[in-house]
Amino acid sequence: MREITLSKAVNEALAEEMRRDETVFIIGEDVAEAGTPFKVLSGLVEEFGTARVIDTPIAEPGFMGLAVGAAMTGARPVVDLMFGDFIFLIMDQLCNQAAKTHYMSGGKLNVPLVLRTNLGATRRSAAQHSQSLHALVAHIPGLKVALPSSAYEAKGLMKTAIRDNNPVVIFEDKLMYNDKAPVPEEEYLIPFGEANILREGKDITLIGTSSMVQVCERAAELLEAEGISAEVIDPRTIVPLDEETLLASARKTARVIVVDEGHQSFGVTSEIASRINEKAFYHLDAPVMRMGAMDVPVPFSPALEDLTVPTPEGVADMARKLVAGEMIHAA
């Protein structure tokens, strides 16, 4: 099977869906000739023209509002938000309009809109261009949230998102755009709410999101060399969340670490850990542990920035302590 980059996978998904459905269009800053700063959309304007790959001014609230209106009236816009950090600028349009229109219209109106943006630190982009803010939108009823962990996941989830009649937010890790993975040439979609068990194990479960899936996989390799069998699971979407798969694994291994690049406090790690504690408590041999980004603005200094996010070595060290029976942070 061919291997392509995550960037190419997203590009293919968008092109295929735009050919399939003429109501799909892309709107955002530097999406046409520039193809975005990360070059993810390169070549699309040449095929589809500026009527369907639409460059906008630096006016995030404006073009997000346009997209919500277009979705309400029959189009399927894909909004390109250059950095996930800019999501604060569009929260009213996304959370008060897109997320609530279906409910407030008594089911008469849909908002089939995709917001694609990014997350991730360690790119040396400092505090205002390095945040992982997916937990913010996961908190809002009416929005679906996807976190692709590879090129394969990125293509399949994007195609599913575009065909969904609800607003979907997809966060891609900036550092993964050049990462390659096997991707079929034939069409495929990845259903929302179905987690992927990448590695089966019996001693501990490692649940990772986005690029933290790779962190968990590398940690599992370190642990395997020591005789510790780690199961690695990628939820793929946090809304909807595949509780059944996560709970089944927790009941099997009796130990769980949840790893996510968002800030650890009040974030995705907390939500997943609490659900496992509530529904699999008597199957656990240790507290469910959380590993997220430090609760500090992302530093510009490389030496400091690298300390703020989970690493394979850190996850493996936590796993060793849990398997050894150390009740970390237990009362």
Active site residues: 60, 129
Residue 71 C-alpha from the chain's centroid = 22
316 alpha-carbon distance from chain centroid: 23
Residues across the chain: 331
* Token pair belonging to 86: 């800019």
* Gap between the Cα atoms of 100 and 304, Å rounded: 40
Q: Which amino acid is at 200?
A: E
Inter-CA distances, 193 with 24, 117, 237, 267, 285, Å: 24, 20, 6, 19, 27
Angstrom distance (rounded) from CA 147 to CA 90: 19
Q: What is the maximal distance between C-alpha atoms in the chain?
A: 61
